[in-house]
């Protein structure tokens, strides 16, 4: 049996020690702790904590030891918040960027308004929940402390869907979203039941909308509010994880855009930022998913007092906006997927758009793309660290870049 000292946390939340100049990954541990166990292939899978650190706490959720939904329930909230901030600082430092990185803003417990559950049929009915870490075993978590109570209470609905259309060999994925119209559910995998059973499932569980691999039944519009507008997103469309996190990101975007009269919202989705910004500016929203833009446009047309919003379906990875297209905007909002937007950032730098609201869910690609803008003459303002995924390793960030004159 080996005894080792944890030196740091990795990006996946595992403790990392160094043994014979090679990393050893130890789940459920914190820096400074002494642990022991058997090391196999660079992992110590079942550690015994010999010397805990003060930052260790008892996990608040009774499912924490088995459920893979959270990685850091054993760590004090202050520790996790500072660790996430430090992840951002290290990513920026690696690109030679010295920034004012603000303290982490963490969403409260039971605030996630969307969750994707796994489910499969069993001999006695069905099981539904999140996967055990590194396993295909499904852990039922009826009193999850991450999601809104209405989502935690939806597990029986997910089980009923599994009984109706899953098999015992293959699981289904069930995305459950809390909307103003009620539960909005999108199912992938399995086989959708016939029209009669499909309708009965939606009615029996009072669903706003049920979608299953392209077949959709809407009983009430599953509305989400973005500023003055109400939007009914297409099934499974992207949505910020918490209302609190969305509000923080929007606040950062508004501060970055300032009094700009013409704004481009790149990777606009269903209008999370487009529609609130349209209260004071003309906005062009660009997104590769036409259905999301159609939802955004409908929301704009029915909202009171908004300025002109124009939509354009465009793959900004393959076909980024070019300088002659960008130069008519006073500000750009860019919130790309985890891969970042290297090609589009290069065109923004060439176009010398005066103000950029830069958001990201990946500190590494954020730092890379921000470095390109700084090299082109932009000044980076304070960086806000926003944690919508409490007790997880996920982190988001937002910042303003202003072109030096």
Q: Kindly list the catalytic residues.
A: 361
> Does residue 94 contact residue 81 with C-beta atoms inside 8 Å?
no
Task: Return the bridge partners of 127, or none.
Answer: 120
Question: Any idea what DSSP says for residue 234?
Answer: P
Cα distances from 153 to residues 92, 127, 217, 342, 391, in angstroms, run 41, 14, 21, 41, 20
User: How far does Cα 390 stand from its chain's mean position?
Assistant: 11
Question: Which residues, 6 or more positions from 403, have their beta carbon under 8 angstroms from its beta carbon?
Answer: 352, 353, 354, 355, 377, 378, 379
Backbone phi, then psi, for 358, in 5-degree steps? -110, 115
3-state SS assignment for residue 293: helix
How far is Cα 170 from Cα 179, in angstroms, rounded to an integer? 29
Other C-beta atoms closer than 10 Å to the C-beta of 190 total 22
How far is Cα 113 from Cα 376, in angstroms, rounded to an integer? 39
Backbone phi, then psi, for 157, in 5-degree steps? -65, -45
How far is Cα 27 from Cα 44, in angstroms, rounded to an integer? 8
How far is Cα 358 from Cα 97, in angstroms, rounded to an integer? 15
How far is Cα 136 from Cα 64, in angstroms, rounded to an integer? 16
Place of tokens 């990513």: 91
> Does residue 236 contact residue 186 with C-beta atoms inside 8 Å?
yes
Question: Which residues, 6 or more positions from 107, have their beta carbon under 8 angstroms from its beta carbon?
Answer: 241, 242, 244, 245, 387, 388, 389, 390
């Amino acid at each position: 049996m080996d005894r080792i000292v944890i030196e740091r946390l990795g990006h996946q939340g595992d403790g990392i020690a160094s043994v014979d100049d090679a990393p050893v990954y130890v789940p459920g541990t914190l820096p400074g702790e002494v642990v022991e166990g058997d090391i196999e292939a660079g992992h110590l899978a079942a550690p015994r904590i010999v010397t805990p650190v003060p930052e260790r706490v008892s996990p608040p959720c009774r499912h924490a030891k088995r459920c893979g939904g959270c990685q850091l329930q054993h760590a004090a909230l202050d520790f996790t918040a500072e660790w996430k901030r430090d992840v951002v600082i290290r990513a920026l430092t690696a690109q030679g960027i010295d920034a004012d990185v603000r303290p982490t803003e963490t969403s409260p417990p039971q605030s996630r308004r969307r969750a994707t559950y796994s489910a499969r049929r069993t001999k006695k009915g069905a099981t539904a929940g999140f996967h055990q870490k590194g396993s295909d075993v499904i852990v039922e978590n009826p009193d999850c402390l991450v999601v809104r109570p209405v989502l935690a209470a939806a597990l029986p609905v997910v089980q009923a869907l599994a009984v109706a259309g899953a098999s015992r060999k293959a699981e289904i994925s069930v995305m459950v979203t809390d909307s103003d119209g009620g539960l909005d559910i999108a199912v992938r995998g399995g086989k959708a039941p016939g029209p009669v059973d499909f309708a009965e499932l939606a009615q029996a569980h009072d669903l706003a909308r049920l979608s299953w691999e392209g077949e959709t039944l809407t009983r009430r519009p599953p509305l989400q509010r973005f500023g003055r507008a109400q939007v009914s997103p297409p099934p499974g469309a992207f949505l910020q994880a918490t209302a609190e996190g969305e509000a923080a990101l929007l606040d950062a975007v508004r501060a970055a855009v300032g009094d700009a009269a013409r704004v481009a919202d790149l990777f606009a989705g269903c209008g999370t930022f487009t529609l609130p910004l349209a209260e004071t500016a003309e906005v062009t929203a660009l997104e590769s998913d036409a259905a999301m833009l159609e939802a955004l446009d409908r929301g704009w047309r029915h909202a009171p007092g908004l300025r002109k919003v124009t939509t354009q379906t465009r793959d900004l990875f393959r076909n980024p906006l070019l300088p002659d297209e960008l130069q008519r905007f006073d500000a750009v909002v860019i919130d790309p997927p985890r891969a970042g937007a290297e090609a589009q950032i290069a065109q923004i730098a060439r176009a010398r758009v005066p103000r950029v609201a830069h958001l990201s869910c990946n500190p590494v690609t954020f730092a890379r793309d921000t470095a390109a803008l700084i090299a082109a003459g932009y000044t980076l303002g304070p960086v806000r660290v926003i944690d919508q995924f409490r007790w997880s390793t996920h982190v988001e960030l937002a910042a303003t870049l202003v072109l030096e004159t």
